[in-house]
Amino acid sequence: MAQKDGIKPYILRDDVSCNLVHLVRDHSSKKAEDVFMEILNSKTFKGGTGCIRDKFNCVCFSEAPISKLGQVLALPGVHGMRYKPFGFMVSKEWLYEKGGRPVIYQSDSEYSLLPGSLKYRHVRYEPPLIDFSWEREWRIQTNELQIDPAITTVIVPNRSFVEKIKQDNIDKMGKEVQLMGMVTLGVLSHKPLKPLAWHFIVLEDLGIPIPN
């Protein structure tokens, strides 16, 4: 569908978002919550090779609307969802400018038809048994990808987790003040505290309860 009069086609659809979501999952040595907090504190995604043929290092996203993903996260056992209700949202334009692209859903027998520069985008698609197209996946081939809190939305399961992140930030800033503080003529001098820069989406606020 061609773009007309500056109207983006996906604005007219409820199954495709103008944003991309990166959800986290449990790893063999780390819980999803710990992976999420590492990304939050470092402001960096680490590339991974999981479920990627020939082990290309990529950061993966979904263009499915967060409301649709919330419904799946609410019933993870039914949908076989491996992801947890923690993640980050960025705009498609932002990732596209950095080199991110939609994956290519195709049979494994077609993999060899792709040029080397596109092989990282291959996702096996052989319905009805093998079909992950509902993820509407995007990938960017990279070892790491830095994110800017000013243009990134943080996805959490409930409001109490937002408060936890805010309190962690206050505690962290307090420790930094103690380390940076200098007593001069009996006066403690330090840099002013900065408010938390992240924006938040709380999944429970979408009206879908997220299991603990």
Enumerate residues 6+ apart whose C-beta is below 8 A from 144: 44, 45, 46, 47, 59
Q: How far apart are CA 10 and CA 1, in angstroms?
A: 10
pLDDT tier, 72 (very low <50, low <70, confident <90, very high otherwise)? confident
* pLDDT tens sequence across 1-28: 455 556 565 556 777 889 999 999 998 8
Select the more confidently predicted residue: 209 or 117: 117
C-alpha distance from residue 52 to each of 24, 58, 62, 111, 127 (Å): 16, 8, 15, 12, 18
Phi, psi of 125 (to 5 degrees): -140, 105
Q: How far apart are CA 155 and CA 55, in angstroms?
A: 27
Q: Indicate the residue type of 79.
A: H
Mean per-residue pLDDT, 94-120: 98
* pLDDT tens sequence across 193-209: 566 789 999 998 888 77
Which pTM value belongs to this model? Answer: 0.84
* pLDDT tens sequence across 27-63: 888 999 999 999 999 999 999 999 999 999 999 999 9
> What pLDDT score does 183 carry?
44
Q: Say if CB 189 and CB 181 are below 8 A apart.
A: yes
Number of other residues whose CB lies within 10 A of the CB of residue 1: 7
pLDDT tier, 97 (very low <50, low <70, confident <90, very high otherwise)? very high
> What pLDDT score does 23 carry?
94
Q: How far apart are CA 180 and CA 71, in angstroms?
A: 45
Q: How far apart are CA 94 and CA 165, in angstroms?
A: 25
Q: How far apart are CA 205 and CA 24, in angstroms?
A: 20
Is the torsion defined by CA of 22, 92, 45, 164 positive or negative?
A: negative
Mean per-residue pLDDT, 145-168: 94
